[in-house]
Amino acid sequence: MNESNEPVIPKVTASTETLMQQGPMTALDYLYTVLRSLEDRFGDKPISPHIATGAALTAAAATDFATAQMLIVGWHIATDLHRVAEALDRITDHNKSPLSRIADALERLANQESAE
C-alpha cells in the first residue's frame, strides 16, 4: 500500500492490440541483446539462426503479453479488494478482530438477502 492506502501494483493502460505489438518488439530486444552477448563472447564466429531461436523469440513475446495482461487483471482485483476492505472498515466495530468483523459483515449481507 502507498500513502493513500491504495494498492501498489503497476497499472498497464495499453490496449490489448498495443500489448500484442509490444510483446514481439520486447522479444526482439531480448534477442538482439543475446546476439550481442554471443558476438562479444565468440567474436567473428558465425552465429547461424536456429529453430530454437525463433521458438525462444515467440515464447518471450507470449510471456511479455501474458505478464502485461496479468498485471491488468491484478490491478483491478487489488483495487476492488481495497474498496471491499474500506467498506468493511466503515461498517464494522473496530474493537473486534478482523475475522469477527468479516463474519459480522457477511451475516448482515445474508440477513439483507433473506429480508428481500
Q: What domain count does the chain have?
A: 1
The answer to whether residue 10 sits within a structural domain is: no
Query: Which residue range is the domain that position 80 belongs to?
Result: 16-115
Q: What is d(CA 72, CA 80) in angstroms, rounded to the nearest whole number?
A: 13
pTM above 0.85, yes or no: no
Q: What are the tens digits of pLDDT across the range 17-42?
A: 887 788 778 777 877 777 777 677 77
- CA 47 – CA 9 distance, rounded (Å): 40
Residues 101-115 pLDDT 10s? 788 788 888 887 777
The pLDDT tens digits for 47-86 are 666 667 767 777 877 788 888 888 888 888 888 888 888 8
Q: Which three cell numbers stand for residue 43?
A: 567474436
94 in a domain, yes or no?
yes
